[in-house]
Amino acid sequence: MSDYANFQIGEQFPLPIKNQQDGGLFQIDANGCMFILQLSRTDIIAIEAFRTGKMQLALYEENGLLFFLYQIDGIFKEGWGDAPFTLAGIKPELLPTAKSMADHTLHLYLVDTRLQLLLAQRSVPIPDDFMAVLQKHVDLQKAAPLDEGAFRLAVQTIWAQKSPTQMREAASAVLDIELDIKPPQPRPSFKH
């Protein structure tokens, strides 16, 4: 990630978010890959689940479009969320570069929708097969950009035909993120 943004838990989220409503946003730009989950109602359990819990992420491809799918234990009881990926609306100077695509790290952010506060963050490595699908769609969209209206229509057409759970069943790549809680260290025993 670039050094220009200061990501501090409990502070204002430093990047502009166009669509400020509950749900996920997946973006690839000159700073790398990021997933932002916006929720208007959270508690300490949801924050910890995001920060350290088990997640499963997946990529679904259809008609040249890419959907980033997510399931997070402790936040969602069941089912999958989806975030369609597009480069439409990204300023030319912020488009993904060879350098940003070489960074196989996914930055995850949990943001309070109402206050735009950063509640939790996490970074996870992206496996090669997952990254190859992302690279393919970045290249496709750079070669033949979709305008926002055409993108929205294409996404709505797919949403009318498939649920996120059905998309997950036909996913091109899956990323399992394990629970990231360090077990307590045993205390040394002293003999009296």
> Is the whole model's pTM more than 0.75, yes or no?
yes
Region 119-144: mean pLDDT is: 96
Question: What is the predicted pLDDT for the residue at 185?
Answer: 53
Q: Which of 39-53, 115-129, 175-189 shows the lowest mean pLDDT across its residues? A: 175-189
d(CA 72, CA 50): 7
Is the pLDDT score of 124 beyond 70?
Answer: yes
Q: 12 or 31: whose pLDDT is higher?
A: 31
Region 37-42: mean pLDDT is: 89
**What is the spatial order of strands in the sheet that 105-112 belongs to?**
23-29, 32-39, 105-112, 117-125
For the chain, give the number of residues. 192
d(CA 24, CA 68): 9
Question: What is the predicted pLDDT for the residue at 77?
Answer: 73
Q: Where are the beta strands (DSSP E) in 49-189?
A: 55-62, 65-72, 81-85, 105-112, 117-125, 173-177
Average pLDDT, the chain: 88
The pLDDT-based confidence of 17 (bands split at 50, 70, 90) is: low
Region 52-72: mean pLDDT is: 95
Q: Do residues 34 and 7 touch, judged by C-beta distance below 8 A?
A: no
DSSP 144: S
Q: Residue type for 122, please?
A: R
